[in-house]
Structures are given as C-alpha cells and as structure tokens.
Amino acid sequence: MSAAEARSGERVEATQMGAEKLLENLVFAHDNRFHRAPDGRVYSSRGSWPWDRNLAFSRHLTVVSRMTELAPDEDVDRLELSSHPAVSFVGVPSLSGPLARFTHRRQARRELARAIGAADALVSRLPSEIGSLAVDVAGDLRKPWAVELVTCTWDALWNYGSWQGRVYAPYSWAALKARVRRSPFVLYVTKEFLQRRYPSRGVAVGCSDVELPPGDPRVLEERLERLRRGAAGPLVLGTIAALSLRFKGIQTALEALRLARHELPPFELRILGAGDPAPWRAEAARLGLEQEVVFAGTLPPGPAVAEWLDEVDLYLQPSFQEGLPRATLEAMSRACPALGSTAGGIPELLDRQSLHRPGDAPALAALIVRAARDADWRAAQARRNFETAQLYTQPVLDETRRAFWEAFARSAHPLAA
C-alpha cells in the first residue's frame, strides 16, 4: 500500500469516527479570570464552564485566560470548580485597558503562540482581548480557528460607565467586525442581532449558550392557576442582575417604579444578584422606594433560582446591553410574564409589545402599569414565554451545536488538510 493510499484510508477512518475526538488538542481563549489554588485545582467566580462541549470532539482542551493565584488560606467555597481531567489552564497577563494592552501584549502573544502552536485548532470566545489576540496568532501560525460571539463589544464598552470605554468602543467594534467577517466558523448566541452587527463570510449558526432543562407543563399550569386565584399579597416584580453592573438597567427599573407607583397596587421589586446593595439602597431611598425594594443576595443555580422566579409576578430585564440574557430565558421557562428593553437579543425572546428602549423609564412605567392591571395579558404572556423557552432546551440546542462543531472539527482535522 502506498503512502497516499494509507493516508486516504486514515482519512476515511477519521471521517467514520464522527465529531467525537477528531482533534488531539484544542485551545479555548477568553478573558475570563480563573483562580488557581495551591493544590493546583482551578476555580471560576462566574459559574461552571461546559468543557464537555469542546471535549466532545477533542481529547484535550487547553484554556488560555487570565489567572489569579489563590493564597493557601483563601476560601474557595464561593467559587465553582473548573478543573477537569482533560483540561489544562495557561494563565496570561490581562490585556484589558490601554496600558495593559501595551505592556503585556508581548508576553501574552508568546504564551498564546506556544499553546496554539502545539494544538490542532483554536476556539476563541469574543469579544475579549485575549481571544482577539489568539485569533491573530492562529492566523499567523496557519492554525484552524472558530469564534463564539456572545455579545456586542460596542454596547458593552459604551455602557460600561467610563469615558475610556466610550473612546475605545469604535475601535473595538471595527476590530471585532473584521475578525468575525474573516472567521471560517462563527457560532452566534443570538438568532439575528449579532449576525446583523457582525456578519460572517464563513460557516455560521445561531445557537444560544443558555441551556434550559425540558419544560414541565405543571410549571405553566401552576402559574395560570395562581393568576386565576388573584394576588394574595403585593405585586412582585423581579430582576436578576449583578449589582456591580449598571448596564443591567436597575436604575431604569427604579425610576419607572417611581413614576408608576401611584397607579400600581402594593408592590415589591426583588433583585437577585451578587454585589454590594448599598449604592442601590441609597438610590431607592432617594426615589422614595426604600420600603418596596428587596435585595435577595445570591442563590445556587438550578432549583433555588427556579423557586425564586415562581414567586415573581412580572420579570424585568431593562438592560442597556445584552447578548441573549440567561436570566430572561430562565424566567420565561418558569412561565413569568416579562418586560425588557430592546438591547441585544432580548427582542428575539419577548413579545414586541413587551419592549422599551434602553433607559426609557417612562415607557417601562407604562408597560408595568398595563401588566399590573391586566391579568389576562399576564396569562397570555406566561403561556407565550413558556412555549418560547422550549426552543432553548438542551436537547434542541445540543443538536444544532453538535452539527456545527462536527463541521469545524472535520475541517480542522490534521488528516483533512
């Protein structure tokens, strides 16, 4: 058998393998900050990471990101374990901020070149500074690469809250647009929004990174029964947001409730999320809402959050920027009527008549009043939202994601060159 025939046979055998384990080593690059304990285990403060999605088609995954070394006595109970037997971590210095991008770039590029050079391919989650540099390095090394696009960099920087962010937004937007346009493979977390802003010439698919468990019809039935019985207490409005992020629009919700309070029944605004509530308590007090706003702190993901949402009569997502918000989808999966802004992918989730422009507190106030007065509207929205959420359950998304990554893995397989 000739070498060419042997190589052809190997290619056929690899094709018959399917996507699973087509690659020996894959690099995943992003700006997330991981935390390494003295015993070598790695943790994240941003929940669990679904490494199994990448390991479905690669034997090993190398994660390149920012890294903090934890002290021996540092508490890790508040963190989520990220370590995995088939995952290794490479820490690179932060590239966030103009000074860091200049002073740390050479070292970051060196680490990325070492990791990507030893791998079969790269998956870069964008927008991120480390992810962007990784794309450039992969291009220089002629390594296959794909992009996961999770939000709009213009919206993120413009609403970050600093003048430096607004100055950098146009450059970051143009650079991201160029990288996505030339990316051979792009997975968008939205169906339309990010695709319009950052079109790709390559293989592209819209697939949310939020995975919901299959819906239980009893959730909808119990919500509708609660609406039929009528409220036994105050109208409960809820939102889920990290308290350090003003772009989640908590200030818009507070101002809207100030405007609407005299047209509403007794109500509570419950806010679930990590962070210091003191600045928000002060803002609520300034608006005369100190008795109506409740800060719920944090809850473990899963059943605890679902139970919290089951007590919410009307969910609010008044964000200034989003990709496809997980919290809104979770609320919809619990049959919550919901109102939201037109930011990011929110209009892909909610009824058009449930939307307001980002920061438009009078419009949100009018929507809240309408929802509070119309139980039939809330029932219709509960049913609509529950049904829409079923499009984002794990079995549905897994099939879309599997087909996309199988195509990428086949194109990146060393024998396919």
The boundaries of the domain holding residue 221 are 217-390
- pLDDT score, position 269: 98
Average pLDDT over residues 375-400: 94
In the chain, % of residues over pLDDT 70: 94
298-325 pLDDT per residue, tens: 888 889 999 999 999 999 999 999 999 9
Q: Which two tokens stand for residue 145?
A: 């690469």
Q: Count CB-CB contacts under 10 A for residue 39.
A: 9
Helix (H) or strand (E) holding 315: strand 314-317
Answer whether residue 388 shows pLDDT above 60: yes
Entry pTM: 0.84
Residues 75 and 190 in one domain: yes
Lowest mean pLDDT among 10-14, 135-139, 257-261: 10-14
Q: Are residues 313 and 272 in the same domain?
A: yes
pLDDT of residue 2: 34
Residues 166, 286, single domain; the answer is: no
pLDDT for residue 5 is more than 50: no
Please state the rounded mean pLDDT for residues 230-259: 93
- Listed in sequence order, the residues at least 6 apart from 47 whose beta carbon sits closer than 8 Å to its beta carbon are 80, 301
**Which CATH number does the domain housing residue 152 bear?**
3.40.50.2000
Q: Which residue has the tokens 């918000």?
A: 325
Taking the C-alpha atoms of residue 117 and residue 358, their distance in angstroms, rounded to an integer, is 43
Counting the structural domains of the chain, the total is: 2
The DSSP call for residue 121 is E
- On whether both 127 and 78 belong to a single domain, the answer is yes
Q: What is the mean pLDDT of the chain?
A: 91
Q: β-strand 314-317 against 293-297: which pairing, if any? A: unpaired
The verdict on 185 and 229 lying in the same domain is: no
- Residues 244, 350: one domain? yes
Rounded CA gap, 263 and 369, in Å?
A: 7
Q: For the chain, what percentages of helix, strand and coil (3-state, to nearest 5) are there?
A: 45, 20, 35
Same domain, 360 and 402: no
Report the alpha-carbon distance of residue 15 to residue 9 in Å, rounded. 10
The predicted pLDDT at position 7 comes to 31
* Bridge pairing between strands 121-126 and 87-91: unpaired
Same domain for 189 and 74:
yes
Residues 158 and 221 in one domain: no
186 lies in the same domain as 234: no
Q: Indicate if the pLDDT at residue 50 is higher than 60.
A: yes
* Domain match, 139 and 285 both: no
Residue in 238, 314, 233, 313 with CA at minimum distance from that of residue 269: 238
325 plus 235 within the same structural domain: yes
- Cα angle value 401/403/405 (rounded, 5°): 65
Asked if pLDDT for residue 35 goes beyond 60, the answer is yes
